[in-house]
Structures are given as structure tokens and as C-alpha cells.
Structure 1
Amino acid sequence: MLKKLWLSYRQWYIKYSGFSNEKEKEDLSYFRDKLFVSILILTLALSLLSYIPSAGMAVALDKWFVFVIDTVAVLVMMFLVFNKQMRLTTKKTIFSVNLFVLSFALIIDLGLNGSGTILLFMLSVLITLYSGKKAGVNSVIVSAIFYGIVLFIDYAKWIDIRFFTESPIEVLFVVFINNVLFGMLTVLSVSFLIDRLHNVLLKENELQEELLEKHKNVVIAKERAEQSDQLKSAFMANMSHEIRTPMYGILGCAELLKGYHEDDEEYQEYVKVVEGSGNELLDVITDILNISKIETGHMTVKTSLFNVNDCIEATYKAFLPQAELKQVQFTLNNFISEKDFQINSDSDKLTAVLKHLIENALKYTSKGDSILLSCGFDNSTSQLRFHLKDTGVGIPEDKIETIFLPFYQVDVANRQALHGSGIGLSISKAYIEMLGGNLVLESEIGEGTAFSFCIAVDLENTNPS
């Protein structure tokens, strides 16, 4: 139902605005314009849905400045959507400026407790998608200048803004620097992936003339994938969906392209690069968003009753093929006696912890090494205990204290050109502490590494059978 509603809404606007959906072009700018149109009309729809509760809350809390700026932002969005004479380039500029002003206003009035900083981060990604790398980098620079002005005003004590007193300048400095760095990393990554995808599309057009005849069907299928994977979620309600949605469209397009020129190894290699880079970037973006939420205190625990044995077994089986491919012995010793051991905790966070720790173990092991995952329930402390031991390269003693810092990686003589975002262990440690436990690391160079952690379990909500 939502899909049909969206299709009719989008088709109406294309007809209303005169934006052609029939004539396909090889120029990347055409696809950027097409994406912008979808973003614009979706933003209006979601803005109207969120305006009434947000405006009502602002009035109830006597936040008249927020009420005014929200009202102006919605009116500008309506003006952009219904103005048929204005060029798309001008609309992009006004759209970006409108959201910039809204973000700045929310930060000034609400501080770090509002959604202004997240909106600025999301806006840099959107600008990169519909205007290109240069515009995306410029948007991050604009954000950095704004943050710098805010810090200078705070330091000079020119204006008495409420959140200056609530957050020390040192905290503001760290948060603002992280926001700028995360924004620049995401913009550069997204622009790199888009450039790769564009090169693949050009290669596709050069290889076969017949693909041009079928291009219309490919675009229609690509739009359906984007609409189901990109545009089915409300990106104003969930910022992580806003960033993931365009990535799903790119991966969907790569999946469609795999069906063409199956005998052309070079073409298929290009598509694999796009697909692999897309999945890696999606994981990095998810981890960056999670670590950002953790650092700003917005990450919450969502408890539910689930079978912990199923969770452990599923995670183990997911990584077993990878271990076998590397010829690493991966063993699970589950000492939880009950087959259906129900616990009341956050299954997603427990799964994420196991995933990051196993990935780390696999990354630093090679042929002939072994990994042992042990787990059990301690009745005396009402805790689930986990122990993951590998016989890999190990961690230097002087690096053990810093290994859990975000974006920090141990340099092990550039072993096999290891790569990664460097925040998996930071997220794992934070999640374990949120679940009422602690993470202990023991390691020795050349001998391997062992991680031990526990999570608290409420006996009243635990139902082993």
C-alpha cells in the first residue's frame, strides 16, 4: 500500500514539475537530479507529517524560536516543491541552505540534546549524493566554520546561550571535531563509491549496444529496488535509515548489473568492486553512527526475551565458512545446559559484540591458527560469561590500554595489509558495559589474544526450560 502511494505521489510530481522520466542520459548529473527530486518530495511529505507534533511540542515547552524556524523550513520546502519555474540547480541550493539554517538554529537553541548535529551530518551526505563531491566537502567545511564560530563565541563569552553553560567548551570541542571528521569521512567514501558506479555504467554502455535498448527496463527495475530499499523508511524519524537508504539503492543497482555480460570477466570484476565497496561502506557507516550515538549518550538498550543459545549458534555458523576458507579452526564450546535458555536482554547488542570480536580474531589469524569461543551461565552471579581465545599475532603490551579507543588500530607490521574502521572493539566494550558487564583483554605477541566478558541477567525475567 505504501509502495503504491509513493509511486502515485512521485509520478504526480514528475508530471506536475515537468521533470522527464522518459529520456535516459549517460551523464551522472541526470541521475543526481533524479535522486534530488525524490529526496525533495519525500522530505516535504515527512516534514508535513512531523511538523504538527514538533510544533505543538515547541509551543508547549515555550520554544517559540524552534516553532518559528520549523514553520519557515516547512514553508520553504513547500515553495520549492510547488514552484515549477525554478531550475533544479537553484532548488538544490535553497534546499541545502534551508536545512543548514534549520540545523544551525536547532544547535544554537537546543544544543547537543537536539537533532541539529545529526541533521548537519546527514545533510553533508545528501548534498554529496545530489550535487557531487566538491559540494559535499564544502558542506562539511561550512559546518566546521559554524562549529568554530560557536566555540569562539563560547570562549569569548559574547552571547549567553543556554547550552554553553550545560556543556563545557572541552566537550563541545571534542563533539564538534568528531562530527566534522565523521562528516568528511562519509562524504569522501560516498563520492568514491558513486564515481566507481559511474565508471561501471560507462563501461556497460561501451561493451554492448543492445544494453542501451534494455536500459529503460534496467532503470525501472533499479527504481523499484531504490523505492523498496531506499525510500520505504522515514529518514526524518530515523537518521541511520537516511544514510543507509541511498546505499541500498547503489547495491541494488550493482546486483542488477551482475546479470549482464556474465562472460565478461573485467565487467563482472568492476561490479564486484562496487558491491564489495558498498557493503563495506554500509558497515562503516553503521559503526560510525553507533559510536557517535554512544559518545553523545543517545544509544539505548532495547531489552526483549530471546533464546541466547540460538543467538550464539547463529553467530557461530555465520563466521564458520570464513574461518574454514582461511583454514583457521573455529570451535564453539557452549556450556549453557538448557537448550531453550531465555534471557531478557538486548539481542542486537549481544550479537554485535560477538560479531565484532570474532571478526577481530579472524582478521589477526591465519592458516593453521585456531579460535575458541566458550560461553556459560554463572548461577552465583546471575551472569552470562563469554571467552574468545585465538592463536593469532597478538597485541603488544603497550597497546592494550589504547586498543579500545575509536578508530585506533594496532600496527602489526602491516600484516596482510589489514584494514577496517578501527571502532569495532570500542563499540563492543560500550555495548558490554551497557548490558551490565565488563570486557577484559589478555594478549601476548606471537601467542594470541583472549577476550573475556560477561553480561548481567535478571533471574526474574530468565526462563530456562
Structure 2
Amino acid sequence: MLNKYWESYIQWYIKYSGFSERDNKEGLPYFRDKLFISILLLTFVLGVLSYFPSAYVAVSRNELSVLVVDTVAILVLLFTTFSKTISFKTRKLLFSTNLFLLSFLLFLILGFKGNGSILLFMLITLITLYSGRRGGLRAVLVFAGFKAIFLFNFYFNIIYLPSFEQYDIQLLLIVGVNNLLFVVLTVFSVSFLINQLHNALLKENKLQLELVEKHKNVLEAKNKAEKSDKLKSAFLANMSHEIRTPMYGILGCADFLKAYNTDDEEFQEFVDVINGNGKQLLDIISGIVDVSKIESGLVTTNISTFNVNKNIEKVFKALKPKAEEKGLSFTLNNDLVVHDAYINSDSDKIEFILKSLLENAIKFTKKGVIELSCERIDEYFIAFYVKDTGLGIHEAHFKTIFDTFYQVDVHNDKALHGFGIGLTIAKAYIEMLGGKIDLESVEGIGSTFWFTIRVDLIKGNAYKQNA
């Protein structure tokens, strides 16, 4: 609280004295002027507090000269602090001169028993703080001149100084030289400290400017990215409509063509080629659009409560004929009881994930078994397993297989290749549903893809963490 009042006091004085309006200084000179204001105000407060007990002691000991010196010094300090007619430079000079004279006179009157020497050392340090090394060295010269005059007067006994009658000239000379060396050391030490602080302040200001510039660049990049995302969103919406619409027209016409020349097998074969390749192209376009939407953050979850067993049965029955057509054994091991099967999640995305993984398993399996398994892990997650006896995947491809457009063994002309989209979309959907996906595979033997989904999702709050 005291610090708060002190800061308010300084701010009031800056406004009162017009400091910020008088000079447009920057850097170290401005810092020194602010420091002088703090020193001036603190000296005034401490001076006023110490004046009254000092005056009482001076009167009680019949040292009227000390009372006069203290009174004049406090009045000059009062004028220096609150006068609006003097310049800031004059205020510094008047403050320094006042304390110099106070220190010298107290030293002459009270000798080493008083606080004149301490005030003098303190003053030289303060002058170095708010005026720099040159100001401090000038104060040292004044100090040396005062000591020289004092020693000259003492040696020739021009003015009698009772406070020093028990000392000899040699002792006073040694003390004077030591004091001079001490204040010189103080001036250089303090000025060095101030310069180092100033350099640190300059570096900090430079770093702040660089951070401001970088922040500005980041904001510009962010604005460009946001604008780019808007353009990308518009492009995706247009592409989805403009490309899918004519493709639906082509496929529709292909269906109509099948009604003509039904006896011409070659004609029907060509129509089937158009229809098959058209559907394949439409799937590719839909996949690319879906991946782009996922990367742009445009895909949302549609959370509802449903029986996931119905989704599993639907996908299983839809793909079973395709597996049997290749001579594969397609089995379902569903351990989800009725109570466990009711979940809060996205029904369409779960169907897409299962369909994508099972279609891959059927595609890359020439003979053997494909198995779909489901189980409840705990109150929060259920797990799905898609196992096949297909080509298998080398361990080096385990991480990259989920990358967009990535194809395993793309250089093998005899290998089966997909579009590299289905697993990317499936992985993104799984993570949107609060789960994770992984695989185990041995090349030439088969693969097992397994994934989890969270069963208690809330609408508009798809989990991002892994299970």
C-alpha cells in the first residue's frame, strides 16, 4: 500500500512540475531526470521528518548555528521542490548546491562527530546517479577543493574551528586523501552500474520492438490465413457443387443408356465402364473435398443417442456379399450387449469409419478371413477391431499410412493401391469422437486395425484427447 501511495505522489509531482511537458528527452537522460524526481521527493520527505528532532537537539545543546543551517537548508529544499518558476536544470543545480553547503557547514561546525561527512558522500553518489559520471567527477573536484581549503585554513589557523583542535594536520591530510579516493571509486562504480543498466534497458527496448514487429507479422499472417481459409471454404463449396452435379448427370445418363441395345454385350460393357469409372471419380472427388474440409476445421460432429449395434449390423450386411464374392470368410464378433450398445456419438461417422476399414481389408485380402469385433472397454469407451489375412504392412509404414494420399509400396506395379484418403478421414473422425486408432501388422500375413470411440459425447463438444 505504501508503494501505491508513493507512486501516486510521484505521478502527482510530475504533473505538478510539468516535467513531461518541459523536456522531450529519451533514453538515459530521461531515466536520470525521473530518478532525480524520486530523489528530490524522498529527500524532501526525509528532510522534513528529520528537521524537527534535529532542531530540538540543536536548541537543547545551545548549538544555534546548527539550527540556522538546518532551517535555511530546509527552506531552500522546500523552494527547490515546489517552485514552478525555475527550470529543471536549475532545480538540479539548486538541490546539489544546497546539500553541498549543508554538508560542508555541518562538517565545519560539528567535525567528525556530526553527519556532514556522511551527507557529503551521499550527495556525491546521488549526483552521479542523476547527472552521470561527469556530474559526479565535478562534485569530486568541489569536494577536493573544499578539503584543500579546509586543510589550508587548519594549517595556518586562519579561522578557528574548535571541533578539530584535537587533530593534527597529518591525520587530517590522510583522512582527506582517503575520503577523496573513496568518493572517486564510488563515482566510477555508480556510473558503471548506471551505464550497464542503461545498456540492458536498450537491449530490452530493442527486443520489445522486435517482438512488436513479429507480433505484427503474425497478425498479418493470421489475417491472410483467415482470408485464405474463407477462400478455401468458398472453393470447396463451389467445387463440391460444380463437379458433383455434372458427375451425377453423367452417371444418370449411363443408367439410361443401359436400357438401350440390351442385346449388344459390347455396348453394355462400355456403359458399365462409364458407370464404374464415374462412381470411382465421384468417390475421389468426395474424399478430396472431405479431407480439405477436415483440414479447414469445417467438419462438425452430429451427436445423438443411438444403438451402435444397428450401425455395425448395417455395415456388416452391406459388405458381406462383397467379401463372399472374393471367396473370403467374413465374420462378426459383437460383444456389446443391449445396455452397452446405446451411446452418445456421431452415427454417420462411425459407419464411415467401419466401412472404410472393412473395405480396405476386403480390397487387400486375396484369401482367408476378415473379422470385425466390438467390445466395451469401460464406462467411457468402446473398441472395434478389423482383422484380415491380407497383404500386411511393414512396420516402417505404421505412422505414415494415415497421411493424406499416402500409398504403401506405390512403386510396385502389381500391388493394389487406393487413393490414400479413406484412412486419413477415418483417423480424423475417430479423433473427433474422442478416440484413437492404431494397428498391428506383419507383412505377408495380415493386419489388425483397432480404434476406440468415446460413448458419452455431448452435442457440440467432441473430445480432442486420446483415449
TM category (shorter chain) comes to: 0.3 to 0.5
| TM-score, normalised with respect to structure 2 | 0.47
| TM-score, normalised with respect to structure 1 | 0.48
Greater C-alpha radius of gyration:
2
